Structure formats: C-alpha cells, structure tokens
Structure 1
Amino acid sequence: MSTEDQTMKRIGEAMALQHAGDPGGARRRFSEIWEEIAVDGDPFHRCVLAHHMADLQPDPRDELAWDLRALEAAASVSDDRAKQHDSSLAIRGFYPSLHLNLAADFHKLADTTQARAHLAKAREHFDALNDDDYGRGIRSAVQRLADQLGQEHPTPSPTAGEANQSA
C-alpha cells in the first residue's frame, strides 16, 4: 500500500488556486512549498512546482528563471520516480512542454534564436507524447509559436553583428 505524497497534494492544491483564478494565492502557496523543498528536495516536486510557478510570473525574466529550474530538475527525475506519482508518466514526456515554455519565454524576451532552439528541442521529444488532447495541444502550441517565429528575424549574436559591420 502506497502512502499519499503530501507535497504533490499541496502542489495540486496550489494548482487548483491557480486554475480558480487566484494567482496570488497560488504563488504564495507555491513559494511556501518551494521554501520547504528548496534546491536539494525531490527533483520531481521541484520540476512540477517550478513548471507551474513560472506561469504565475508577471515578469518574463522571472518566468524564464522558473522554467529553467523546471528543466534542470527534470534532468534528475527518473521514470520510476514519475511513475510513483502516476503510472502513466514518463519523464521524457515532460520535455516538449518544458522546452515549449522556454521557447515562449525567450520569445517574450525578444531572443528569437533561443526561442527557435527550444522549439527544436521540444520537437525532438514529440515521440514521447501520446496522440491525446494533451499531446495534440502541445504539438499545436509548438506549431503556433513556430509560425510566429517564422515571421521574425533571428536575434543576431554579437559575433554575427560584428561580422556584418566589418563586411
């Protein structure tokens, strides 16, 4: 008999506040939990919390920081650990969404090059998505952002800009 994961229960309660239209309450609850789990806590908890906390950030730089925390934590999560929460989960299935969020963050920050790079990484993991509403939603969101980015010029790197000036 397995015991209920109290931290995931609390993260779920904070997510419910977020979905009920109480971003401030959700942000406070996530912050309290983050203080408890911190940087050395269960990477699954950190990944899920940071992934949702990012969506509550009014500043795109803060959103990016939380999304980077989620990606970093995901690298330490095993499939066995993810399956402890839900037997259908595989950590590889998290990556399309994690990279999509990072691509959107970089797009908001006008870094088209990084946005495109993260969209490519999201696509690399499409095979981990099921053909269900979630998988189709992620694929569709990646395509919408790619279409937006296709209409923009990449942000030149400093070396490229210098090379163009000296040519």
Structure 2
Amino acid sequence: MAKGQEQTAPDAVPTRIGQVVMLHHAGDREEARHRYLDLWAEIGEHGDPLLRCTLAHYLADTQDDPADELAWDLRALSAAEELAQDRAHGQHDGVYAARALYPSLHLNLAADYDRLGHREAARLHLRRARGAAVALADDRYGEGVRAAIRRLEARFGDGGSATDGPWGPPRRRP
C-alpha cells in the first residue's frame, strides 16, 4: 500500500500498530519505539482517542527512562478519559475497549510511580487498578492483570521497599 493511502485509511492504523507490537515482542524495542513515534506523529495529539490511548499504552513499554514511560502512560490514561467523556455525549463507540484497558493503565502508572519513588501515587493507582479490574473478563489477560495487582499489593504490604527486585505488570494488551 502506498504511504499516502496508509495514512488516509483509518482501519490501517490499528493494523500498523499491531505490526509494531509484533516487532516489539520479537525483541526489536528500538525500531518499535521509532515506528510507534511515527504513528503518534501521524495520529496527532488530537486524533482518535482510542488510537491515542492504545498507541501511548504501547509506546510506554518501549521507553528506557522511567519518567518517559510515566509520561506515555499518562497520555494513555488521558486519552481513555477523553473516551469516557465522549461516551457521556454519545460520540465514540471505542469506550468499551478503553474500559478494558483501565486496570492495566492504572497498574502501569502504579509501577511507573513506584520505580520513580513516588509511593503514595503508586498506591493511589494501584487502588484504581484494583477497582477497575472488576471490568476484566475471566480470561488469561484478565487473570494476568489481577495477578500483577496482587503482586504489587503484596510488595506494598510486606514493609519492604517498593523498588526492590523486579516487578512489573504484564505488558500484553487485550
């Protein structure tokens, strides 16, 4: 498909995001980051909020700096909240997809804040992740997110440092 056609076909963007996800899962994090950033530039700060939410959520996973990861995860949450506002006005059908992302969005933010040493912000987002998890299906993804929530809760509850050892939410998306 010609580049101009790719950019104008709205259904092509989710397909292209999926292709970059596969590239990232195959281990080419740097190339995935560059391609995600190209897609972000194409979609724009004011593009479709579901696409922005999805793309920012994935882009966060490719960041080397925890502060950059936090910034992308915050963009994803902001776009999801925009979807929720659109739904209140009957303007967007993708709100149900975003609702399924809320537990993971908040879990990722909890992990980001934890890595940056912001324990109270991490706890706040962990509570939000737990509350949003009721919307998850009883499938592999839902159980993975719920298990990650329990792991972080255990870390926070055991009196140990929240930044000791490797912890992270599952980075697969629905």
Question: TM-score, length-normalised on structure 1?
Answer: 0.82
- 1:100–1:118 Cα contact (<8 Å) kept: yes
Counterparts of 2:161 and 2:44, CA distance in 1: 36
Instruction: Give me the CA root mean square deviation.
Output: 2.0
Counterpart among 118, 128, 153 of residue 125 in structure 2: 118
Counterparts of 1:114 and 1:135, CA distance in 2: 23
* Aligned match of 1:67: 73
- The 1:35–1:4 alpha-carbon spacing in structure 2 relative to 1, beyond 3 Å, is closer
Higher radius of gyration, 1 or 2: 1
* Aligned match of 2:25: 19
Counterparts of 2:118 and 2:10, CA distance in 1: 42
* Aligned match of 2:167: none
Post-superposition Cα deviations, 1:94-149, rounded to whole Å, max 9, x if no partner, equal 11000000000000001111100001001111210011111110000011011112
Counterparts of 2:161 and 2:124, CA distance in 1: 11
Task: List alignment gaps of at least 5 residues for structure 1.
Answer: 84-88, 156-167
- 1:112–1:153 Cα contact (<8 Å) kept: no
- 2:53–2:98 Cα contact (<8 Å) kept: no
Aligned-pair identity in percent equals: 49
